[in-house]
Amino acid sequence: MYRQIVILTGAGISAESGLRTFRDQDGLWEEHKIEDVATPEGYARDPELVDRFYNTRWSQLHGGDVEPNQGHNALVRLEREFDGELLIVTQNIDDLHERAGSHRLLHMHGELSKGRCPRSRQTFLLKDPFGPEHTCTCCIPAQRLRPHVVWFGEMPIGLDRIQHALDTCDLFIAIGTSGTVYPAAGFVDTANHHGAQTVEVNLVEADRHSQFQYHLQGKASDIVPRLVDQILSGNVIKDNIG
């Protein structure tokens, strides 16, 4: 039925793995000011504070208690069994899609497990939490690595590839994202414009101004496996699945 699928994931897909979202109750933005920890200006003012913010999240991700959930796993099944084109675009910087086994994946807001040279933009895998001792090997003098994440005011990663996939997809699914951060929040408009079917999976009710044609309300770990069954069985997605 479908030939080209783009899936956008947000913090909600990792929530059931124990990682906090940003804007929900108890979300990360309740304890941190966005302008302090998610802007280049905040990093320039106080890099240690920003390093600590990401180190806490790095330690949780690598602490042994966090694992992919049924939502991530279902997307791996889709990748293995779907005959057409698939691209998973994640706004998440965790590596739970990779740990589950996804390959056709693009981290548009960066990766928690990497540091980046601010001069050459080369990335380096981080085997331990951040600190001033993490420097690049590409420049002389060596540069202090910064978190490989996209902050407000910075250009997201892979936009050309994403744009091409959106222009040609016939199904666009957004999972566990509040749709408040651009350009990701505008992907649904692009997909609609090109005639794709657009589906949203979220724990909460659809927004009154939602641009999605279908809204599936519930936990990602519950809805996504059923959505994948539906796609793989060749059926068109409807409001009511499973």
Cβ neighbours for 36, distance < 8 A, ≥ 6 positions apart: 42, 45, 46, 49, 50
**What are the DSSP E strand ranges found in 93-170?**
105-107, 110-116, 123-125, 146-149
- Binding segment for ligand BJW (CB under 6 A), chosen from 19-27, 131-139, 161-169, 231-239, is 19-27
- Binding segment for ligand BJW (CB under 6 A), chosen from 118-126, 135-143, 173-181, 192-200, is 173-181
Cβ neighbours for 233, distance < 8 A, ≥ 6 positions apart: none
CA distance 190 to 224: 22
Q: For residue 203, what are the CA distances in angstroms to 11, 41, 100, 241?
A: 12, 33, 22, 15
CA distance 36 to 49: 8
Query: Under the criterion CB under 6 A, does residue 91 sit at the interface with ligand BJW?
Result: yes
Backbone angles phi, psi at 112, to 5 degrees: -65, -30
Site for ligand BJW in 98-127 (CB under 6 A): 109
Which tokens go with 110? 């960066």
Nearer to ligand BJW, 21 or 113 (CB): 21
Query: What is the smallest separation between the CB atom of 167 and ligand BJW, expressed in angstroms?
Result: 15
* 22 annotated ligand binder: yes
Nearer to ligand BJW, 21 or 143 (CB): 21
- Binding segment for ligand BJW (CB under 6 A), chosen from 43-51, 80-88, 97-105, 197-205, is 197-205
CA distance 235 to 242: 11
Q: Find tokens 């990335």 and name the residue.
A: 123
Query: Is 109 one of the catalytic residues?
Result: yes
Choosing from 97, 107, 109, 148, the catalytic residue is 109
Query: Under the criterion CB under 6 A, does residue 155 sit at the interface with ligand BJW?
Result: yes
Query: Under the criterion CB under 6 A, does residue 15 sit at the interface with ligand BJW?
Result: yes
Query: Under the criterion CB under 6 A, does residue 86 sit at the interface with ligand BJW?
Result: no
Residues making contact with ligand BJW (CB under 6 A): 10-12, 15-16, 21-24, 27, 38, 91, 93, 109, 149-156, 159, 176-178, 180-183, 201-204, 219-220
Catalytic residues: 109
Provide the annotated binding site for substrate: 54, 57
